[in-house]
Amino acid sequence: MADRKGKFVLAALWAYLTAAGILLGYSLVGWGSIYPSLASPISGVILIYGFPFLIVSAVIWAFWKGKEQRLNVGLLRISSTVSVYAIEFALKILSRRSQTTKIELIEDLRSKTKETVVPAVFPSVLISEKDNRSVISIDGREVLPLGGISNVLNVYCKEAGDYLVYKTDEHGFHNPPGLWSLPKIDIAAVGDSFTQGACVPSEKNMIAKVREAFPRTLNMGGAGGGPLANLAEIKEYLAVKKPKVVFWDYAQNDLGRDLAREKQVPIMMKYMEKGFSQGLLNVQPKIDSTLLNYAESQMIEVVKNENALDTERFDPSLKGKIRRLALFFRIPKIRGLLIPRLGRTLPADFEMPNPEFALFEKVLAEADATVKSWNGQLVFVFLPDSKMYGFEPLLEGSMDPLEFKRRLLEIVHRVGVPIVDIDEAFRKAGGDPLNYFARVGTHLMTYYGHFNEAGYAIAGAAMVDYLKQSSLLSLDAGANK
């Protein structure tokens, strides 16, 4: 009887060790895939490879030494695993109580206002992963909206402060009302979330700072927008408004990730053709109704890439439940506490193996020619990434950030577009340039996101200084309200 019991305990121990090994491997493989920069620092090597090696070595030693040692190691593993997941569960409960998700905020705002409240919807979430086509159609025709839903409260993002909530303009962009009806626009800016003003109050973003000096300024920025999206906005909207100056704001994911994705989207590549347009300026009411329906029916899909907590908490499907369980086994809360200053940022352009330099040059040249067709001037604005300042180790094989910058600006010079260098402005401002980025998280888990209010102010001032020193605008542009 005792032998049978011992065999049962041993079999249960083997089953447990196998399951625990699978879970441990899943957790650490997931760790390495989410935070690939850990593959190069010593801490990453220890955590991803050294820790499992020690555990496997202990198990082998125990089985080699005998039954008593096997039992002791097994009991230690069981108690340790139970303790780890109990701590993970406790941290998960605490985070739920301390954080308001985007969906919760939307629901709260809807209960307090008569305004239509929606999550911010951008072109990048409207592209099907299956065939790179837009999921939106109007009158039976594929359409890729470039703005958002007009005249609604957009709940966008949160980094160092509260969520950015703003009312969209007549075409779904981040502007005060009435600018589109003006007979003349002096300045427009195209770009991604930095241009849009993530994640600071509306009056604190860099285009708002430009607007303080030059009131007739349009902000056309949208999260996830790359070079082809910029070109599309110029051809769809600005070719009608014909601003004298168009700022092209470059962010450090435009070539490596955004353009690589955009070139796979047929409707985006069509903007390289002369005269192509979707006619978006004239179908805004239909865009509004279609996107409103989409935002309501696909709210989890809209927000999941911006806030994993929303997906984790609100997706009621079986797939969502499986995702939540898998995420729990990866102990994300504990992992976040183990590594101080853990960067969670996506790879910058200079970390990517094949930045789209050649295609970018063609896109920029097409944009420059389009703006020049109405006697306007395209101005390139270089926006730095926090990784340029040594916050987190670069991925293995990365290009030197300054060499990447040199090659990029060489292309811009070759096309003949003037440059406003915000990296240079940050360095001239003094102190650590990282002070101009939003620091997200706690002292235990930190990463740097978009610019903070100080960073946006410096960027906006550099753009204003360029305009004042150039002869691009007439004297009344800065005075006419």
- Tens digit of each residue's pLDDT (9 = 90 or more) over 144-187: 999 999 999 999 888 877 899 999 999 999 999 999 999 999 99
CA distances from 317 to 89, 127, 254, 313 (A): 21, 22, 34, 11
Segment 361-368 shows an average pLDDT of: 98
Pairwise pLDDT comparison (115 vs 82), residue with the higher score: 115
- Alpha-carbon distance of 9 to 5, in angstroms, equals 6
> What does pLDDT average to over the chain?
80
Q: What residues are paired with 127 via a beta bridge?
A: 134
Give the SS3 label for residue 218.
Answer: strand
Q: What confidence score (pLDDT) does residue 297 get?
A: 75
Single out the residue of 278, 328, 279, 283 nearest to residue 308, CA to CA. Answer: 328
For the cut 50, the answer to whether the pLDDT of residue 53 exceeds it is yes
Q: What per-residue confidence (pLDDT) applies to 266?
A: 95
Range of weakest confidence among 110-114, 281-285, 336-340: 336-340
Return the pLDDT at 32.
Answer: 44
Which pLDDT score is estimated for 63?
Answer: 58
Q: Which residues are bridge partners to 217 per DSSP?
A: 187
Q: In angstroms, rounded to a whole number, what is the distance separating the alpha carbons of residues 284 and 148?
A: 9
Nearest CA-CA partner of 308 in 110, 92, 136: 92
Work out the average pLDDT over 419-445. Answer: 86
How far apart are the C-alpha atoms of 77 and 93, rounded to whole Å? 24
Q: What is the mean pLDDT of residues 424-438?
A: 94
Three-class DSSP category at 86? helix
**372's tokens:** 């020049």
Which stretch of DSSP H or E encloses residue 411? helix 401-415
What are the pLDDT digits (tens) for 61-72?
A: 555 555 566 566
- Please indicate whether residue 3 or residue 368 has the higher confidence score (pLDDT): 368
Q: Percent of the chain at pLDDT above 70?
A: 67
Contact between 155 and 102 (Cβ < 8 Å): yes
Distances (CA, A) of 254 to 227, 250, 346: 6, 7, 12
* Residue 16 identity (one-letter amino acid): Y
pLDDT for position 380: 98
The string over 63-101, giving b where at least 16 C-beta atoms fall within 10 Å of a residue's C-beta and e elsewhere, is beeeeeebeebbeebeeeeeeeeeebeebbeeeeeeeeb
pLDDT score at 82: 72
- Distance CA(43)–CA(237), nearest Å, equals 49
Token reading at 304: 């999941």
Please provide the DSSP assignment of 158-188 as one string.
-SSSSPPEEE--TTSSSS-TTGGGSS---EE
* Alpha helices per DSSP H over 189-263: 193-196, 206-213, 227-233, 239-241, 259-262
- Dihedral Cα 43, 45, 46, 51, nearest 10 deg: 140
What is the reported pLDDT for 472? 82
**17: exposed, middle or buried (C-beta count within 10 Å: 0-12, 13-18, 19+)?**
buried
Considering only residues 86 and 364, tell me which one the structure prediction assigns the higher pLDDT.
Answer: 364
- Note the pLDDT of residue 15: 63
pLDDT for 70: 56
Assess whether pLDDT exceeds 90 at residue 58. Answer: no
In terms of pLDDT, which residue wins out, 50 or 440? 440
pLDDT, residue 463, reads 98
Q: What is the pTM of this model?
A: 0.77
Helix (H, G, I), strand (E, B) or coil at 56: helix
Residue 230 has pLDDT above 60, yes or no: yes
The pLDDT value given to residue 103:
79
**Contact indicator for 219, 195 with CB cutoff of 8 Å:** yes
Burial 424-437 (b: 16+ CB within 10 A, else e): ebbeebeeebeebb
Cross-strand partners of 137: 142
Looking at per-residue pLDDT, the higher value among 354 and 326 belongs to 354
According to DSSP, residue 96 is labeled H
Is 70 exceeded by the pLDDT of residue 309?
Answer: no
Model pLDDT, residue 23:
52
pLDDT digits (tens, 9 = 90+) for 15-43: 655 665 555 554 444 444 444 444 444 44
In order of 207, 218, 278, 328, 385, the CA distances from 184 in angstroms are 17, 11, 23, 54, 34
pLDDT, tens digit (0-9, with 9 covering 90-100), for 434-478: 999 998 865 445 678 899 999 999 999 999 999 999 988 765 565
Q: Which residues of 300-328 are buried (b: 16+ CB within 10 A; e: fewer)?
A: bbbbbebbebbbbbbbeeeebeebeeebe
The more confidently predicted of residues 202 and 104 is: 202
